[in-house]
Amino acid sequence: MLAIGTLSRRTGTKVQTIRYYEEIGLMNEAGRTAGGQRRYDEKDLDRLAFIRHSRQLGFSLDSIRELLDLADNPAQSCSEADSIARRQLGQVEQRIKRLQALKKELRRMVAECDGDSVAECKVLEVLRDHSECLTEHNEIGA
Amino acid sequence: MLAIGTLSRRTGTKVQTIRYYEEIGLMNEAGRTAGGQRRYDEKDLDRLAFIRHSRQLGFSLDSIRELLDLADNPAQSCSEADSIARRQLGQVEQRIKRLQALKKELRRMVAECDGDSVAECKVLEVLRDHSECLTEHNEIGA
DNA sequence: CTTGAACCTCTATCAGCTGTAGCTTGTATC
DNA sequence: GATACAAGCTACAGCTGATAGAGGTTCAAG
Ligand SMILES: [Zn+2]
Ligand SMILES: [Zn+2]
Ligand SMILES: [Zn+2]
Ligand SMILES: [Zn+2]
C-alpha cells in the first residue's frame, strides 16, 4: 500500500494534484487508513501514470476521462480512442500553424528595430497598427 | 465620445472584456455620463487596439502593461520594449518546439494503430507507457 | 413621453492546477 | 511507551484571461 507522497514521487505529480484528480472524479476515491490517510495500490499508480502521460501529450482532462473509460473495457473497438487522438493531433497542428504566424511577425518586428527611442520603435509601431503585419492572426493568444 | 459598445465593435473586443481591462488597470478609468455610463475618446480606442493586437501576438497582459508604460514616454530608449518582444519570440519558439515533439508522437501513435480492439490499441498502449515514446516531453500540456 | 436596445454592477464559472493555514496521523528512534 | 517530526488531512484563496447571467438603470430615437 502506497501513501500519497510515494505516488507523487513515482509519477511526478504534486500531492495536491492527486487529491484534485480524486475530487473531480478522474482518480477513484482512495482507500483510507483508520486515521484517514489515503492509501493506493499498483492499479492506482498505473491510472495516474496514464493520466500524467496523457497530460504531457496535451490531452484535456475531459479527453483523458474518455480514454480511461474506453481503456476500462478492452473488448470494444478502439476507433473512438483513435479518433480522440486524431482530434488532439489536429489541434496541435492548428496551434503550431498559429504560433508560426506569430513567430514570423515577432521576428520581423524585432529584426527591424534599430534600438532607437521609443518614438521610432518598430516593435511598438507594429503593435499599434496591425496593417504593418504580413499575416492575418485574428484569434487571440497562444 | 464613444459608448462602450462602439469601442467594442471598433476593436473586436467584448464589452465585458473592456470593463475587465479597466478593472485590472490596463485601461484607464473611463469618464462617465451623468447616468454613470462609460464614455471613451480616440485615445482610449488606440490604447485598446494596442492591447488587442498585442494579445493577438500572444503577449501576456503583464507584458502589455509594460509595453504601454514604455509607449507612454517616447523619449527613452526602446531597448526594453525590444527585449520584451524578443522574450516573447523566444517563448513562441519554445512552444513550437514542444508542440512539434507532441505532434510527432501523436502522429506515430495514430498511424500505428490498425483499429482493432481496445486491448491492442496502440494509442492506449503509448499513453500507458512513455517508454514507447521517441521524444522526451517532460513538461505538461500545451 | 414612450419604448427598447444598450448600459450598469455583482457574482459565478471555466481549465488545471498551486499554495497556504492550521490541524492530525504515522512511524522511527530512544 | 514516550517523543519528535515528516507527511498527511481539510478548506479555501488565487492564478490567467476572460465570459455569462441576473436583475436593474439609462440613453436616444421616434
Ligand atoms: Zn525598438
Ligand atoms: Zn497584426
Ligand atoms: Zn487504436
Ligand atoms: Zn511519452
A96 with B92: Cβ contact below 8 A: no
Range 62-91 of B in CB contact (< 8 A) with A? 67, 70-71, 73-79, 81-82, 84-86, 88-89
Cβ neighbors of B41 (< 8 A, separation 6 or more) are: B1, B2
B72 pLDDT more than 80: yes
Closest nucleotide to B38: CA versus each C1'? C7
The pLDDT mean for chain A works out to 95
* Cα–Cα distance for residue pair B127/A49, rounded to 1 Å: 9
User: Chain A residues with CB inside 8 Å of B77's CB?
Assistant: 115-118
Q: How far is CA A65 from CA A55, A125, B74, B112, in A?
A: 11, 46, 52, 22
Instruction: Say if residues B71 and B84 touch (Cβ distance below 8 Å).
Output: no
Helices (H), chain A: 4-11, 15-23, 42-56, 61-72, 79-112, 122-128
The predicted pLDDT at position B115 comes to 77
pLDDT band at B44 (very low <50, low <70, confident <90, very high): very high
pLDDT band at B142 (very low <50, low <70, confident <90, very high): confident
B92 with A99: Cβ contact below 8 A: yes
Mean pLDDT of A14-25: 97
Instruction: Say if residues B106 and A57 touch (Cβ distance below 8 Å).
Output: yes
* Cα–Cα distance for residue pair A133/B52, rounded to 1 Å: 14
* Cα–Cα distance for residue pair A126/A106, rounded to 1 Å: 9
pLDDT band at B2 (very low <50, low <70, confident <90, very high): very high
The predicted pLDDT at position A132 comes to 95
Query: For the whole prediction, is pTM greater than 0.75?
Result: yes
Q: Return the nearest residue to D26, CA–C1'.
A: B35
pLDDT band at B89 (very low <50, low <70, confident <90, very high): very high
Closest by Cα among A83, A55, A86, A52 to A70: A83
pLDDT band at B67 (very low <50, low <70, confident <90, very high): very high
The pLDDT mean for chain B works out to 95
CA B98 centroid distance within chain: 17
A77 with B116: Cβ contact below 8 A: yes
Q: Where do the structural domains in chain B lie, given as residue ranges?
A: 4-59, 79-132
Residue B35 C-alpha cell reads as: 447616468
The predicted pLDDT at position A140 comes to 87
pLDDT tens digit sequence for A33-53: 999 999 999 999 999 999 999
Domain B4-59 is found in CATH 1.10.1660.10: yes
The predicted pLDDT at position A98 comes to 96
The predicted pLDDT at position B81 comes to 95
A21 pLDDT more than 90: yes
A94 pLDDT more than 90: yes
Mean pLDDT of A73-87: 94
Closest CB from A85, A95, A103 relative to B89: A103
* Cα–Cα distance for residue pair A82/B57, rounded to 1 Å: 33
pLDDT band at A141 (very low <50, low <70, confident <90, very high): confident
A86 pLDDT more than 90: yes
The predicted pLDDT at position A115 comes to 78
B80 pLDDT more than 80: yes
Residue B138 backbone dihedrals phi, psi, to 5 degrees: -65, -50
Instruction: Say if residues B108 and B99 touch (Cβ distance below 8 Å).
Output: no
pLDDT band at A25 (very low <50, low <70, confident <90, very high): very high
Mean pLDDT of B61-84: 94
Q: How far is CA B134 from CA A20, A91, A101, B96, B102, in A?
A: 30, 21, 27, 18, 10
Nucleotide C5 C1' to residue A134 CA (A): 38
Radius of gyration from C-alpha coordinates of chain A? 23
Mean pLDDT of A116-124: 93
**Is the CB atom of residue A50 positioned under 7 angstroms from any atom of strand C?**
no
